[in-house]
Structure 1
Amino acid sequence: MFEYFLILIAGVLLYKLLSRKTEIDSTFNLPPGHLGISILGESLQFLYKQRKFFDERHAKYGNIYKTHLFGKPTIRISGKENLEKLYAAENKLLQSAYPESTVKIVGNNTLTSSFGRDHTEKKIKIMKCFSPEFLNEVFPEVSEFLTNRIKDWCRSPSIAIYPECNSMFLELAFTSFVSMGMPKSERARVQTLYHEILKNMFTLPINLPGFGFHKALRAKEELKSIFLKRIKADKKSRFEIPAILENLCKSEDSEFNDEVLLNGICELIFNAGETTTAAALCVVCNLAQNPRVLAKLRQELETVDLLTPPEENNNQSVDLTPEVLSKLTYLDCVYKETLRSNPPVGGNYRKVLETFELEGYTIPEGWTVVLGIRETQHSDSGIHDPLSFYPERWLEKDSSKLGFLPFGMGPRRCPGKGYAQLVLKLFIIKLCQQCDYTLSEEIPELVSFPTPKPKNNLTGVFVSRKHRK
């Protein structure tokens, strides 16, 4: 609340000094909506309501509406056909342009902040690292890691779901991509710092004590300090870091230096750890609320002799192979339905390069466009009862026509899709194999900005299925 109070004071002063509306060509047929007051626009309402801000406006105005966020006139667009057109127009009509606060927190020369040729070069190199060979190589390590962590959950009287998932997937990202070992106390601090960054990723770029932007920048600097210290402690040279990180940090036109390396580490761990945390949280909640789905998953696993917990199978995790994983049809349905019902990323930010029209509305050059993934997946006319968790919808003949864009589309489609799919499917299997569990809330309440997480302190009791017949 203190931050909102400071923002309000700053807003009032700015309004008195600069009380004028954004200049708009009167001939434009702009979408419905409001731009709010000068400079601030509707940023205060957004920071207070978060996801509800978008839900209310989508319900009122439909797939296209205008607003004003973080100093930029903004149009949020949803609908499967609309988004497919706009993703296809990347670098022609639109260009990636996240809010100033987000770009400054993520840092320069990162995949998120780059665009055009620079982004294309980085993306190509990273895609080579996320090859099927890489995924096959890390498969047994990821499987064993998840097995051991869920065993730990079963040994505890109860666990806090979100912090435990977050700790697990951040650590997995460390080991998979950065080959960086950390003591437990250091991992806990890193987790706290990432949470501070995530909480303040989308805010007004006011770098003064008490403001979220200031807190996020301080957290980022401490993270970089921890990572640099760990690199030196591990005695890694620039030539010994994993290829995926080197390719992320270096392009033909840039020098490879410590600042670039540390920004690359922070971005890679954030993207791999936070988004999989959000998806795994939703897996836990969805299976707890839908015992029918859990039973059906276990039936499918039993048909390929995968239901036996690893400790009863002499820990022969080699029985679970990438080839077997790809043949589990209902598992794939549960995976897709998890990402459809609760996408880890609710929208993508773009800058309009050239004025164009969509559904009869003018989308002006220089404005920000937000491609609404969440609204598209929740309101697609082809989806029956879109707010229900129903994996069977992916078995229907026309399932390929459903609005499903959790990784985006086009040139900026998430390069880590294969890794996310591998990790989440293995996580679902381990839950089915190893434990039964109950949650502290029968219907967990989630907030979805910037990624899904529990509104309350959601806890769970996990009991091993060992020796159960």
Structure 2
Amino acid sequence: MALPLLISLFTVLAPIILLLTACICLWQLRWNLKADKNWKLPLPPGSMGLPIVGETFHWLLQGSNFHASRRKQHGTVFKTHLLGRPLVRVTGAEHLRRLLLEEHNLVGTNWPQSAQAILGSTSLANSSGDIHHHKRKVYAKVFSHSALESYMPQIKQVVAESVRDWCASEHPVTVYSESKRLTFRIAVAILLGSLPSEEELTNLFTVFEQLTHNLFSLPLDVPGSGYRKGLQARDRLHEYFEKPIEDMLQSSPEYPTALGILIKSSQEQGVKMSMQELKEAMVELMFAAYATTASACTSLVLQLLKNPAVLAKLRMDLQTNGLWPESRTGENLLHLSDVTGLQYLDGVIKEVLRLLPPVSGGYRVALQTFELGGFQVPKGWSVMYSIRDTHDTAPIFQHPETFDPDRFAQDQMKGKDARFQYLPFGGGVRRCLGKELAKLILKILAIELATISHWELATKTFPKLLMVPVVCPADGLKVQFSAQLCNKSSR
């Protein structure tokens, strides 16, 4: 009885297997035929995965191991197919230097289709050429030194309240979830100048989470798809921000907000932003200050847990520089100059961003066929440059697996060209405008944590790290905080 059953199963499955195999072979062949016939150079090595979805699911499941394994197999330039597009992945300063310096010539902006639609056609991320250059000048005022100084009281207040809540909790805190709430509250506070009610803020946070969760999704606009959910969240956020924008346009606030600075900056540049542009700018600015900064905040807590000697040295440095609680009086005596002048703290933050950059790389699109690493990159293909892999293989960083803030001391970095070997905020004409705001938030959080709290890992082992879409612990990082004013004996 078993043999006839096996024969029947084989009769049914064999044609299906042959058909699937043929489809996969034709899919791979299709992309090999996409090579530019005017170039003798071959396409980079690599696989285009399965029909339609390519290697998207492998990428989502494997995280950083996906790129690491393929880099080990194929080298620093390889091809794949992610999120509906053919893609060339690139690692190493020598390749990144060329890509980032020759934007608008060899490559242009190329976010995945889902991100393009959700962020909007007028967003900074989706602009290029002269339009992008002009928008950066407008947006730059939002992150100027004077603007950051004006945000300090709000950032400090939100961070202090959050850390106080973490310390008051009887149960372990999930650091990544709480860090997202923290950075979201900061983004809303500096954009609007104040926070809405807790109920309204919670609802807004839920919608924003839906947008960010589906920003990188297969562009299938069907009921229930991540792409459709992302578009719906975008529309709800645009609806919410319309009234604050109208109010800001009709009034002259007594104190600066990021939204107010943006409106004024656009007027100074001679181009009044439309309501649609301002709504898309609000969402984009929130996104820029949210997920990646929350990832870095979580990594900061993780690394200080793993490296108690670094925390002890940081506490000593803060005490030496008069940033210990008993050395300060009043609520808002922490100024921008106090924070930016701390060299060891600066090294701690830079090392967190070196070892665990929040995003793995940046997207571009080939504007023309060009050579890279001995291979051709065909016109129209996506190009993704690696950040973490480049940090891990950069020759200026000895023992890259070790967390060592002192590697960024001035005497250690003297004579080293880190421009394209260290780039947690990207590089070239699209280097992240909000990098100083992100570092400021991280530094204020580090100061609050180090000076007023104690924390311990609430699980037996450190969690596995997920790398897609941003770096975060698999369990969110469970930590038990307690209010413990540190003193000299804690060093």
TM over 0.5: yes
The CA deviation at 1:266 is: 1.1
Contact 1:93 1:352 in 2 (8 A): yes
Q: Are 1:278 and 1:344, in contact at CA under 8 Å, matched by a contact in 2?
A: yes
Aligned to 1:417: 435
1:247–1:266 Cα change, 3 Å:
farther
Q: Does the 8 A contact of 1:97 with 1:349 survive in 2? A: yes
1:66 counterpart = 2:48: no
| Larger deviation, residues 171-180 vs 279-288 | 171-180
Residues 171-194 of structure 1 show CA distances to partners (whole Å, capped at 9, x for unaligned) of: 111111233532112222222222
Shift of the alpha carbon at 1:231? 5.6
Q: How many Å separate the matches in 2 of 1:136 and 1:255?
A: 25
Q: Which residue of 2 aligns with 1:445?
A: 464
What does residue 405 of structure 1 align with?
423
Q: 1:253–1:461: structure 2 CA closer, same or farther, 3 Å change rule?
A: same
* Residue among 271, 278, 283 paired with 2:300: 283
Range moving further from structure 2, 328-337 or 354-363:
354-363
Preserved contact between residue 457 and residue 478 of structure 2 (Cα < 8 Å): yes
TM-score, with length taken from structure 2: 0.84
- Contact 1:352–1:367 (8 Å) recurs in 2: yes
User: What is the alpha-carbon distance in structure 2 between the residues aligned to residue 410 and residue 118 of structure 1?
Assistant: 16
Counterpart position of 1:6: none
Give the residue type in structure 1 aligned to 2:129. Answer: G
Contact 1:118 1:251 in 2 (8 A): no
Q: CA–CA distance in 2 between the matches of 1:174 and 1:280? A: 17
Separation in structure 2 between the aligned mates of residue 43 and residue 250 of structure 1, nearest angstrom:
42
Q: 1:275-354 maps to which residues of 2 (within 5 A)?
A: 275-308=292-325, 313-318=328-333, 320-354=334-368
CA shift, 1:340, in A, is 0.7
SS at match of 1:73: strand
Indicate the percent of aligned positions where both proteins have the same amino acid: 32
SS of residue matched to 1:209: coil
Contact 2:138 2:266 in 1 (8 A): no
Equivalent residues of 2:154, 2:186 under 8 A apart: no
TM-score, length basis structure 1 = 0.88
For 2:329 and 2:137, the matched residues in 1 are separated by: 41
2:407 pairs, out of 385, 389, 393, with 393
Which residue of 1 is the match for residue 478 of structure 2?
Answer: 459
Amino acid at match of 1:325: V
Question: What are structure 1's unaligned runs of at least 5 residues?
Answer: 1-11
Greater displacement, 375-384 / 420-429: 375-384
Give me the whole-angstrom Cα distance separating, in 2, the residues matched to 1:152 and 1:424: 18
- How many Å separate the matches in 2 of 1:344 and 1:463? 27
Counterpart pick for 1:384 among 398, 402, 424: 398
Q: 1:179 to 1:308 in 2, by over 3 A?
A: closer
Corresponding letter in the other structure for 1:432: A
C-alpha contact 2:35 2:43 (8 A) present in aligned 1: no
Which residue in the other structure is 1:8 paired with?
Answer: none
Counterpart AA for 2:124:
L
1:262 matched to 2:284: no
Secondary structure of 1:224's aligned partner: helix
Q: Which has the larger radius of gyration?
A: 2
1-side partners of 2:198 and 2:56: how far apart? Answer: 38
From 192, 197, 217, the equivalent of 2:231 is 217
* Contact kept in structure 2, 1:437 and 1:460, CA below 8 Å: yes
Question: What letter is aligned with 1:162?
Answer: Y
- C-alpha displacement of 1:230: 5.8
Distance 1:265 1:425 in 2: 24
Closer, same or farther in 2 for the Cα pair 1:25/1:199, shift >3 Å? same
Match of 1:81 among 70, 85, 94: 94
CA displacement 1:356-406 (0-9 Å, x = unmatched): 212222222221100111211122233222233221222253464342101
**1:35: how far off?**
2.0
| Partner SS for 1:21 | helix
Partner of 2:145: 132
Flag the 1:386–1:116 CA change in 2: closer, same or farther, 3 A: same
Which residue number corresponds to residue 243 of structure 1? 260
* C-alpha distance 250-82 of structure 1, shift in aligned 2 (>3 A): farther
Equivalents in 2 of 1:250, 1:206: separation in Å?
A: 38
Aligned with 2:98: secondary structure?
helix
Number of residues of Structure 1 aligned to a counterpart in Structure 2: 452
Is the Cα contact below 8 Å between 2:163 and 2:449 reproduced in 1?
yes
Does the 8 Å CA contact 2:355/2:403 hold for their aligned counterparts? yes
In structure 1, what is the Cα distance between the partners aligned to 2:389 and 2:477?
25
Task: Report how far residue 38 of structure 1 moved.
Answer: 4.2
1:461 maps to amino acid: Q
Amino acid of the structure 2 residue aligned with 1:414: C
Following superposition, the deviation at residue 278 of structure 1 comes to 1.0
Matched residue SS, 1:30 = coil
- AA aligned opposite 1:411: V
SS at match of 2:30: coil
Alpha-carbon distance in 1 for matches of 2:472, 2:71 = 22
Give RMSD over aligned pairs: 2.8
Check the 8 A contact 1:160/1:459 in 2, yes or no: yes
